[in-house]
Structure 1
Amino acid sequence: MGYLTQNLRPPAVAGMATPLGVYLTTGSVSGGTGSLGLFLTGVSLALMMLAAELSVEGLIKLFAMLTGVRADIMLRSAPLIQYPNFYDIPFYASVALSIIVFFLILRFSPLSGYHAAEHMTVHAIEAGETLTTENVRSMPRVHPRCGTNLLAAAGVFLIIATRISSQFGVLIALLVVVVGWRTIGAWLQYFVTTRTPSPRELANGVAAGNDLLRNYQEQPNLQLVGFQRIWKLGFIQTAAGMFSTLWIFQSVFRIPML
C-alpha cells in the first residue's frame, strides 16, 4: 500500500554535502548531485587544508619578520618524545592554529550550508514528514549518524593516547571517547561543519530528498552489496578527489600536506 500511495520511505538515509549540492543515498539508490559533486567535495576539502596550511605559514613568516625570531624552526620541529613537556608547546600551537583556520574556512564555505541542508532533509525523511522547505527548515542541523561524530572520536582518542604514553592513557582515551564522542561530534557539527542554510541551499536539500524518494519508490527492494554499495555511499569518489589533489600539490608544487 505504501508503494501504491507513494509514501514508502527508506528506514535510514545517508548523505554528503558537495559544492554542487546535496547528495543523499540509502546505499542502494541515491538522489541529488552525483559522482562529480562527491569528487569535488574531496578536492574542496584538500584545498581548504592547503589554504589553512599556507595561512599559518604566512603568519609564522610575518612573526619572524616583525620580531626577528625564527619561529618557523620552533613551530615546525616535531616532538622527539611522547611525554608532555614545555618544549612541545610551540609545535602543538602551530598544529592547533592550522586546525582552527581549517575549521573557519569550512564554516564559512558553501559546504557547511549544504551539510546542514543534508542533515535537515534526512531528519525530515526519517520522521516521515512531507518534504517541503517549511517542514525541512524546522529540522535540526545536528544528526547523530553524521561522520563528524566518528571523526571527533578518532581525533580525541589519538590526541589522548599519543600524549599519555602508557596503557592507562589508552584506557582514559577509550573512556572519554565512549562517554563523550557523540557530544563532541554534535558540538563540531553545530559550530563548525554546519551553519543555517540559505534558501537556495535548503531548496537544494529538499530537491535531493524528493529525488531520492522517487528513486527509492521505483526500486524499494533494491539491495546493492560489495563495491557497488561502497560506490553508492560516495566515499570512493570523495577520497579520490582529496588524495589526487593532495598528490598534485605534493608532487608537482612540492607543497607538503601530509
Structure 2
Amino acid sequence: MDLNLKNKFAVITGGSKGIGFAVAKGLAAEGVNVALIARGENRLKESASMIREEYNVKALEVSADLTKKEDIEKAFAKIKDFSDRIDILINNAGTGTNENIIDADDEKWNYFWNLHVMAVVRLSRLVVPVMKENGGGVILNTSSICAKQPLDYEPIYNTTKAALTMLSKGMANEFIEDNIRVNSINPGLIQTEDWVNTAKDLTKDTDKSYQDYLDNIAEENTPIKRFATPEELADFYVYMCSDKASYCVGSSYYVDGGWLKTTI
C-alpha cells in the first residue's frame, strides 16, 4: 500500500527511543524526513544518525526539555531553519509517574502538566501556522489507556493523559477547518525500555526474570496475553499520518490488545 508520505516532514517529540523512535523509523521507511526532539543528547544523536544511514532521509536532532516554554521555542526555531514545512507533528514525549494524591506536591503536578499537556499546546501554537501555510497536516498526540482506565499508582499520569485526550478533541474541532487532522493514540502495554527497566528493578534479587514479570502483567490484563512491540504500535501511527486515514478526525484510538474493559 502506497501511503503517499514520501518527502513529507515530521516533528516527533520523545523521538530518540521507545514509541517515538519506532514512529520515526516507521515514517522514515516511507520516505519522511524527521526532526527528533528529546533531552538526552547522546542518545538523540545516535538515533538521528541511525535513521539517516538506514533510511536515506534527512534527520535533525533537537535537544530540549519540553516542560520549559523557552526550550520549545528554541527547538522550533532550529526546526524552522532546517525545513520550511511541517506536515506531521507527533506529540509523544511523556513518562509514567508513581505517587499518591495526598503526598504528591504541587511541583510534581506542575511538571507533568507541563510535559503531557502544555508542551502539546505550546508546540502546536508554533507548528499549526506552518501547517496552514502548506495546506494542512496531521497531529497525533500520544495519550494512554490510563486516560480512561486509570492505574492506582499514578494519579498524576492518569489525570494529565485524560486532559491530553480532551485537548486532542478540542484541537481536532478547531484545526480541521485548516485541513489539519488531530487524533489521540491511547496505547496499552507496549514493551519499551522504561517497562523493561522497571521490571528489572522489581525482580532484582528474586528468582523471577524481568521477562517473567512482564509476561505475568500481560497474562493478567490483556486478552491477547502479551505486550506489543513499539514497532507494532508505530505501524498504526504511520497509517494515521497518511491520506488513507483522511476521515479520521478527533478520535481516540486504543491500541491495547483488548486491555480496555469497556467500549463506551
- How high is the TM-score relative to the length of structure 2? 0.27
The structure that has the greater radius of gyration is 1
Structure with greater helix share of residues: 1
- How high is the TM-score relative to the length of structure 1? 0.28
| Structure with greater contact order relative to length (CA < 8 Å, sep ≥ 6) | 1
Structure with greater strand share of residues: 2
